[in-house]
Structure 1
Amino acid sequence: MPYRVYEASEFEALAQPAAATGSDEPRANRYMDALNRLEEEGYHLVAVDTTGASGLYVFHRRDDEPRPKARISDVG
């Protein structure tokens, strides 16, 4: 099963607005935008692990969904 795992700092980076936009959008909105982008790629949040020094966000994609371009952080 294909999974994608992000450390908290990586997910935070996904949620940052582009530097050129100068957006001061609330953090919750940026997080939702990042989650929506991942869902558009077929990934769904399945777990958040806060037991380690850095939290982990675990996303899963069903095998029968189209695969987006591979990323370095893909695990599967």
Structure 2
Amino acid sequence: MAESDLVRELSARVLAQDDKVPTTIRINRRTLKRLRAQEKRWTTSMSFIVERALEPVLTELEQAKLPTDGDGADDD
């Protein structure tokens, strides 16, 4: 029997919740104020906004080559 769309969506939410780990990040007061404003405006969590915003940045950083320190060696 195939899963319904509802079952798939609820299963995905449960799995997504399992992946979340409480943490603390330090951001400046102005950024926090802006983040809170968008949290209220869009009725969503700050965590969701931050996670979505960080995804493309982290992907870019992971794909970027680190600058070398001039010794010509590549650690990859």
TM-score between the two structures when normalised by the length of structure 1? 0.30
Which structure has the greater CA radius of gyration? 2
Q: Which has the higher helix share?
A: 2
TM-score, normalised on structure 2? 0.30
